[in-house]
Homo-oligomer: A and B are copies of this chain.
Amino acid sequence: MVDLRSEMKRIKGLVDAEIRRIKAGLEGPDDLVEASFHLVLSGGKRVRPFILIKSAEVFGASLESSMPAAVAIELLHNFTLIHDDIMDRDEYRRGVKTTHILFGEPVAIIAGDLLFSYVFYILSKNYPPETGLKLVELYANASNLICMGQTMDVLPDKYIVSSDQYLEMVYRKTGALIEASAVAGGVVGGASEEELGLLREFGSKIGIAFQIADDILGIVGDPKVTGKPVGNDIRNGKKTILVLSALERMDSGSREKFLRVFGNPGSSDDEVMEAIDIIVSTGAIEDSREFMKRLYNDSINALRNLPESEARSYLMEMARFIIYRDK
């Protein structure tokens, strides 16, 4: 059995050292440099770089060759977080103040833009043309999808009405980049088209499962472990697969009761617990868990068709970790 936790820690150390090196080499206004790297250097598990590096390793690629693509995908992810936090007016993330709170909104917008620009700069400087341009296409395509998913997410009343639309949003906003991480690893490692298809299947499925796991924790997670108050997602009116499929099944009495609490920040703890009970009674949580497990199984089956290797075992463990985590 591979030791996922210590390997993740090791990879995180290497990725972070590389990110610090890039920051140190940037010549530009201090405020911009600090703002751009504030969030990425205050935490994060480096899930995407890990998936990328291990996917490349399956095909024998060295860490040296996958590192620039891995760093680039982490910067891409952090660019989206900086801009999302501005849109959502969030004041904290990873336990620290968000970029726009610390540096002001204008500099935070530019900080996100600079990270995004740097993603492509890194790819252009570190790969031979054929590999480099394939990575650019992959990252740009994922970014296009993220923008679409994020738009759905900021206009839920218009774009997230059914659970299918929710899943489309989740694929675009979260799945597409995890998919790109796996495929990019394959591109760096010189995988065949068929193998890239398997990585795509693995990444997209586990990426969607990742979000559904989050959604389940948001409703029934232990607040002592997740660090988020019980029923946070209920009070915030967060439309997740659980809520949408529960709503599709409630009778009109339950729905009326539920909608009085859902999205109402002033709801009492008792009301929130009652709303959660209503969701549970529809079977939506069990069904979402089942759905997540099917995604997990599909992703594992895709991995099984890749060359057997320690790296592949790490990817399988990572998939398990994504599904069975408690925070």
Contact = CB atoms under 8 A, between A and B. Distances in A.
A81 interface: no
A227 interface: no
Interface of A: 28-29, 31-32, 83, 86-87, 105-107, 109-110, 112-114, 116-118, 120-121, 123-125, 127, 129-130, 132-134, 136-137, 139-141, 143-144, 147-148, 150-152, 154-155, 158-159
Contacts of A107: 151, 154-155
A140 B107 CA distance: 19
Given A31-B155, A137-B125, A144 B117 contact: yes
Contact of A147 (B86, B113, B150): B113
A304 B87 CA distance: 49
A245 to B, nearest CB: 22
Nearest to A36: B147
Nearest to A115: B147
A33 to B, nearest CB: 9
B158 A31 contact: yes
Contact of A151 (B31, B121, B147): B31
B144 A110 contact: no
Contacts of A143: 113-114, 117, 120-121
Given A106-B87, A124-B133, A148 B28 contact: yes
Contacts of A159: 29
A159 B31 CA distance: 10
8 contacts: A28-B148, A29-B148, A87-B109, A113-B143, A114-B144, A120-B143, A124-B136, A132-B133
A114 B116 CA distance: 11
Contacts of A134: 124
A158 B104 CA distance: 15
A139 B158 contact: no
A159 B28 CA distance: 10
A307 B28 CA distance: 36
B120 A152 contact: no
A117 B147 contact: yes
Nearest to A80: B113
Given A87-B105, A87-B106, A32 B151 contact: yes
A281 B272 CA distance: 72
Given A118-B140, A124-B133, A125-B137, A151 B113 contact: no
A150 B116 contact: no
Contacts of A147: 28, 32, 110, 113-114, 117
Contacts of A120: 120, 136, 139-140, 143
A139 B134 CA distance: 17
